[in-house]
């Protein structure tokens, strides 16, 4: 009697994966079911692929904020370059020459601008006066000395005008005056020159004491010595011509 097999009990498709596992245990070198191995390969690859950790937007923002804070802390701890402070524009402030108020011929010298213009006018007038005296005297020695004084006065005026420009940034031009001199004895004319130079030396000395600017003080002190030197030369000449 033949055994009757129930068709419903036979599966429509055999599960070869079970047999494949058995063959791997018995004979791993054999490949009885290649189609089963090929079908299971994608599943194994997916199992070996590492999982990617997704960071939420909130966590990303938190990490970015921490990184920015760390960068700011590092920048603040970095030492500033020697000689000045780094500004927002990258330049160095506080260096000599970069200050808007210079250390010489600057704001402190502005209080002496009136005195400076007075000296310019005085020296320019003395120069013209000495040239006129040189033309009216018959003494060649006195005429040569007065012309030398006139040349020194011209240089002096230019130095004072340069100082005025350094302080104010403007060009000061002294007034032009024409003097009318009568004929006078040479000793009398030299007497006026002596007092003029001696008074100029004193006035420069006093201006140097009162000036708040160091460079202007040095200039006035130098001009004071030059004025006293001219007065001494006039005194020596008078000692030769007075009888």
Give the pLDDT of residue 69: 57
- Dist. CA 195–CA 234, nearest whole Å: 10
Residue with more model confidence, 31 or 6 = 31
pLDDT band at 108 (very low <50, low <70, confident <90, very high): confident
pLDDT at 2 over 50: no
pLDDT, tens digit (0-9, with 9 covering 90-100), for 40-84: 555 544 544 444 444 445 445 555 555 555 555 444 444 444 433
Q: Which residues, listed in sequence order, are joined to residue 66 by a DSSP beta bridge?
A: none
What is the C-alpha to C-alpha distance for residues 205 and 1, in angstroms, rounded to an integer? 151
Query: For 112-162, how does the pLDDT look when each residue is reduced to its tens digit (9 = 90+)?
Result: 899 999 999 999 999 999 999 999 898 999 999 999 999 999 999 999 999
Closest to 102 measured CA to CA, from 214, 219, 218: 214
Q: What's the confidence (pLDDT) of residue 109? A: 85
Say how many CA atoms lie within 13 Å of 115 toward its Cβ.
Answer: 19
Q: Identify which has the larger pLDDT, 64 or 174.
A: 174
- For the question of whether the overall pTM of this predicted structure is more than 0.75, the answer is no
What pLDDT is recorded for position 208? 94
Other beta carbons within 10 angstroms of residue 3's beta carbon come to 4
User: How many CA atoms lie within 13 Å of 54's alpha carbon, on the beta-carbon side?
Assistant: 2
Query: Quick one: pLDDT at residue 152?
Result: 96
Tell me which of 21 and 59 has the higher pLDDT.
21
Name the least confident of 35-44, 93-102, 141-150: 93-102
233 pLDDT more than 70: yes
Does 242 score more than 70 pLDDT? yes
Burial class (CB in 10 A: 0-12, 13-18, 19+), 223: buried
Spatial neighbors of 141 by CB under 8 A, at least 6 apart, are: 237, 240
């Amino acid at each position: 009697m033949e055994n009757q097999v129930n068709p419903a009990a036979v599966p429509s498709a055999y599960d070869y994966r079970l047999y494949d596992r058995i063959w791997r245990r018995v004979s791993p070198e054999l490949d009885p079911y290649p189609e089963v191995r090929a079908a299971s390969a994608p599943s194994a690859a997916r199992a070996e692929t590492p999982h990617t950790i997704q960071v939420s937007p909130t966590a990303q923002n938190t990490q970015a904020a921490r990184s920015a804070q760390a960068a700011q802390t590092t920048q603040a701890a970095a030492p500033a370059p020697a000689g000045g402070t780094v500004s927002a524009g990258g330049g160095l402030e506080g260096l000599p020459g970069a200050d808007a108020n210079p250390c010489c011929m600057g704001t402190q010298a502005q209080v002496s601008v009136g005195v400076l213009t007075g000296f310019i006018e005085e020296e320019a007038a003395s120069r013209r006066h000495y040239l006129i005296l040189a033309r009216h005297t018959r003494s060649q020695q006195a005429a040569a000395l007065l012309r030398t004084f006139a040349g020194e006065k011209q240089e002096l005026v230019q130095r004072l005008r340069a100082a005025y420009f350094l302080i104010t940034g403007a060009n000061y031009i002294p007034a032009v005056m024409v003097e009318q001199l009568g004929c006078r004895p040479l000793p009398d004319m030299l007497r006026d020159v002596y007092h003029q130079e001696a008074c100029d030396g004193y006035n420069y000395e006093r201006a140097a004491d009162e000036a708040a600017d160091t460079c202007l003080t040095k200039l006035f002190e130098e001009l004071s010595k030059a004025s006293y030197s001219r007065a001494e030369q006039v005194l020596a000449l008078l000692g030769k011509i007075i009888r």
